[in-house]
Amino acid sequence: MAATSPPLPSSFQNAKKILSNFTSFKPFSILLNDNKYSHFRCQIKSLENKPSNWSVEFLSGTEPLRLIQNSPSSMSMAAASASDSAVKTSKKVCLFYCAETKVLAERIAAESDAIEPRSINWRTFEDGFPNLFIPNAHGIRGQNVAFLASFSSPAVIFEQLSVIYALPKLFISSFTLVLPFFPTGTFERMEDEGDVATAFTLARILSNIPTSRGGPTSLVTFDIHALQERFYFGDNILPCFESGIPLFKNRLQQLPDSDNITIAFPDDGAWKRFHKQLQHFPTIVCNKVRIGDKRIVRIKEGEAAGRHVVIVDDLVQSGGTLIECQRVLAANGAAKISAYVTHGIFPNRSWQRFEHDNAGHPENGLTYFWITDSCPQTVKEVISKPPFEILSLAGSIAAALQI
């Protein structure tokens, strides 16, 4: 305040002492609107956990201090936007899960106070058929509900589908199915009359999930294998196709040699699927060629010499293609070789084929092998076993549940 201003009234001098009784206020600063202290108002510029839309009014004489809440129109656009954003992110979700996804569900709930994990009683009758129970079914009426599934084998799909079909009928506000790995069709080739497209069959089953009071079911899945599978779903479900690549890119940025990374795609399919998300990196594209009775991997384009080459694909089964790709990259001078796949399936413990290279010999093993926790059974087997490192989808799923 200018030196020529008249002395402040005693009520103003005691403002901090008076306002300290309000626990929602933190130490504040004020803006004087008038230098005539017979009647003026001071704007409180900083509040704790809420927009600054309060003023303090001082009157002449011994009139008491007045605390005034401004109208919404007087709030700044930034404060209003922040308030709206806080409201939008407060969507409450009841997250149910199967036995396999319990750990991931707990991680998702830890990402947001708005997500509450809920259990289901997974029991069986003596004949082996499911005997299922949803506790406190009345308590989820009017709530946003999600189910975290893992279709790791045909044996568990039926019991989970039974719950998935039951939840929307409990008068819930909305229903979201989170299926991180859409499992069928990884080997399907519709080449001969009589081939059955099981991926299409599963998509049709999911497309007929009963609608909740809020409308069709939302389906969240990551890096679906065949691009055409995106079009298998009917109009009664809203597929939300997410990707694990952002997690992978964040991890690459943390590496000490992040400026020496080259991305290798083991085939044209992987390039089509991911090259747009990884276009800022130098790339190598490999392909398989047939020589006699054998199919071998060759480098189609790109340079590996002296680089930390990371092989990227959506999933791995036996790992044969990745190993062949590793060998050809090492033979072409790669300094280090790592791999990333969103879905580490590894049937019959095929993950054991991948050795850890900690001595600078990329032909013998991988520096890192990153997978996500989309396949919980695999995570249990490879966790804390180099070269494997788990990138959790928990944050991405928590964000998707707020859509």
Better-scored residue on pLDDT, 311 or 42: 311
* pTM above threshold 0.85: no
- What residues does each domain of the chain span? 10-87, 91-242, 245-372
Average pLDDT of the segment spanning 345-355: 96
Amino acid sitting at position 79: A
DSSP 80-107: HHHHHHHHHTT--EEEEE-STTHHHHHH
b/e per residue 367-400 (b: at least 16 CB within 10 A) = bbbbbbbbbbebbeebeeebbbbebbbbebbbeb
Q: What is the pLDDT of residue 14?
A: 54
Segment 121-130, tens digit of pLDDT: 999 999 999 9
Bridge partners, residue 124, by sequence:
130
Per-residue pLDDT, 62: 45
What residues pair up with 309 in beta bridges, in sequence order? 262, 337
The fraction of the chain above a pLDDT of 90, given in percent, is 65
Q: What is the pLDDT of residue 18?
A: 47
Indicate the range of 71-80, 104-113, 138-147, 332-341 predicted with least confidence.
71-80
Q: Which helix (H) or strand (E) holds 203?
A: helix 198-207
Q: Tokens 């992978």 sit at which residue?
A: 248
Query: Same CATH topology for 91-242 and 245-372?
Result: yes
The predicted-structure confidence for 164-218, as pLDDT tens digits, reads as follows 999 999 999 999 999 999 997 655 565 678 888 788 889 999 999 999 999 999 9
Q: Which fold has domain 91-242?
A: Rossmann fold (3.40.50)
Supply the mean pLDDT for the chain. Answer: 83
| Domain 245-372: which CATH number of 3.60.20.10, 3.40.50.720, 1.10.4080.10, 3.40.50.2020 | 3.40.50.2020
pLDDT at 299: 96
Strand, coil or helix: what is 154? helix
Q: Strand locations in 259-335, DSSP E?
A: 261-265, 283-291, 294-301, 308-316
